Structure 1
Amino acid sequence: MTRVLVLYYSSYGHVRALAQAEAEGARSVPGTHVDLRRVPETLSDDIRQKAGFAADDTPVASPADLEAYDAIIFGTPTLFGMMAGQVKSFLDQAGGLWARNALVGKVAAVFTSTGSQHGGHEATLLSTQIPLQHFGMLIAGMPYTFADQTRADGIVGGAPYGAGTIAGADGSRVPTETDLAGARFQGAHVARIAARLAGAALNEEAA
């Protein structure tokens, strides 16, 4: 079985919805085991409640968990054109994995939610990929074979760098079917790449 982890942080539920779609897409690839996990919250429950954050009962992951997967798909909201601090804090705790080259050759991908079309959507996708490349991971985006990302008849999230959605300035927009389809596409895309790499590694070991 190819093992895929969809790991995310979500404040108001937009990234969580995309994460569920990413997991659905990955599970559509035969022979794929998928886990859906979230990064630990760094804010108090009191602050979360005052901010109106959505409740989330998805199990929490730890950095040590990452080594067990062939591919990891990371989801983060866009905050001032960058990943959320909770995601950065999680990655900052993975120095032991980096020191052992434990993530080298694993597939990675990123998806995001942004308040506006010009609020740092692509900047977040690209900058989140930077630490993943320091870990030696292989980056998979959302290629133009998902043709709906070029639609011009409405607001569409995502880019060739990864899936996404536009939440609106007040967070009232929900991911569209196009956005969710992009996330499912990316999840399946990552799972297929991971399966091919895992199969090639098994062939090398058998040779």
Structure 2
Amino acid sequence: MTKVLVLYYSSYGHIEAMAQAVAEGARDAGADVAIKRVPELVPDPVAEKAGYKRDQSADIATVPELADYDAIIFGTPTRFGNMASQMKNFLDQCGGLWFEDKLVGKVGSVFTSTGSQHGGQESTILSFHTVLLHLGMVVVGLPYTYKGQGRMDEITGGSPYGASTLADDGNGGDRQPSSNELDGARFQGRHVTEIARALASARLREAA
């Protein structure tokens, strides 16, 4: 069975909700799925004052376990057009995995959230892809076969680079992921699983 890790960081719960949808899609495609998060770097008093969602149920991931999965789907909010420092700090500890080629050939994919339509969704995912390519991963996005990307009747996240959501309602208030954005996340989870399974099957045929 294809093993998929959904690895995320979420300050306010938007990426957490997207991660659950990604995992649903991967499970629908027959994957054995784990949902985990990276450690928080912000001190507890600061996080509490800022209103961070601190009751997230996902276990904290360890760097060595990344090598145990066929695919890893990463979720991060954007921070000025790049991934959150919590996620980058975690990935910066992957030097040993890189040195031993432990992630080469595994599937990597990314989803994100921003506060606005033009808040860096695409640049966050594209800059994240650079890290995955250095690790030797096979980068997979959200293809246009997910037709929700073409919707013009509502404001929505989503790009060919990966699923995304908008976290601000435009008036400084909270906006949770829409049904279309969650459907995109599920599609991405299924798509990544199918690609990872196909790659594994190809390797088995070559080895036979």
TM interval, short-chain normalised: over 0.9
Q: In the alignment, is the contact (CA less than 8 A) between 1:81 and 1:123 conserved in 2?
A: yes
Cα distance in 2 for residues equivalent to 1:150 and 1:9: 27
In structure 1, the gaps of 5 or more residues are none
- Length-normalised TM-score, structure 2: 0.96
Report the CA distance shift for 1:87/1:65 in structure 2 as closer, same or farther (over 3 A).
same
Report the CA distance shift for 1:171/1:89 in structure 2 as closer, same or farther (over 3 A).
farther
Corresponding residue for 1:190? Answer: 192
Corresponding residue for 1:120? Answer: 120
Query: Residue 78 of structure 1 aligns to a residue in which SS?
Result: strand
* Root mean square deviation, CA, Å: 0.9
Query: Residue 53 of structure 1 aligns to a residue in which SS?
Result: coil
Q: How does 1:92-131 map to 2 (within 5 A)?
A: 92-131=92-131
Query: Residue 60 of structure 2 aligns to a residue in which SS?
Result: coil
Instruction: Tell me how far 1:43 sits from its aligned partner.
Output: 1.2
Instruction: Tell me how far 1:171 sits from its aligned partner.
Output: 5.2
Cα distance in 1 for residues equivalent to 2:37 and 2:193: 19
Instruction: Tell me how far 1:46 sits from its aligned partner.
Output: 1.1
Q: In the alignment, is the contact (CA less than 8 A) between 1:164 and 1:183 conserved in 2?
A: yes
Q: Which stretch has the larger CA shift, 52-61 or 103-112?
A: 52-61
Corresponding residue for 1:177? Answer: 179
Cα distance in 2 for residues equivalent to 1:72 and 1:159: 19
Corresponding residue for 1:28? Answer: 28
Instruction: Tell me how far 1:202 sits from its aligned partner.
Output: 1.7
Q: In the alignment, is the contact (CA less than 8 A) between 1:12 and 1:171 conserved in 2?
A: no
Corresponding residue for 1:155? Answer: 155
Corresponding residue for 1:203? Answer: 205
Look up the equivalent residue of 1:65 and give its one-letter code.
E
Cα distance in 2 for residues equivalent to 1:111 and 1:171: 22
Cα distance in 1 for residues equivalent to 2:167 and 2:13: 10
Query: Residue 130 of structure 2 aligns to a residue in which SS?
Result: helix
Cα distance in 2 for residues equivalent to 1:41 and 1:95: 20
- Length-normalised TM-score, structure 1: 0.97
Look up the equivalent residue of 1:197 and give its one-letter code.
L
Instruction: Tell me how far 1:57 sits from its aligned partner.
Output: 2.4
Residues 89-142 of structure 1, C-alpha deviation per residue, up to 9 Å, x if partnerless?
Answer: 000000000001110000000000000011111110111111000000001000
In structure 2, the gaps of 5 or more residues are none
Q: In the alignment, is the contact (CA less than 8 A) between 1:78 and 1:124 conserved in 2?
A: yes
Look up the equivalent residue of 1:49 and give its one-letter code.
E
Q: Which stretch has the larger CA shift, 14-23 or 161-170?
A: 161-170
Look up the equivalent residue of 1:157 and give its one-letter code.
G
Residues 23-49 of structure 1, C-alpha deviation per residue, up to 9 Å, x if partnerless?
Answer: 00000012x100000011111111110
Q: In the alignment, is the contact (CA less than 8 A) between 1:112 and 1:125 conserved in 2?
A: yes
Residues 61-111 of structure 1, C-alpha deviation per residue, up to 9 Å, x if partnerless?
Answer: 011110000000000001111100000000000000000111000000000
Q: In the alignment, is the contact (CA less than 8 A) between 1:78 and 1:121 conserved in 2?
A: yes
Corresponding residue for 1:18? Answer: 18
Look up the equivalent residue of 2:158 and give its one-letter code.
G
Look up the equivalent residue of 1:88 and give its one-letter code.
K
Aligned length: 205
Q: Which contiguous aligned blocks of 4+ residues in structure 1 show a shift greater than 3 angstroms?
A: none
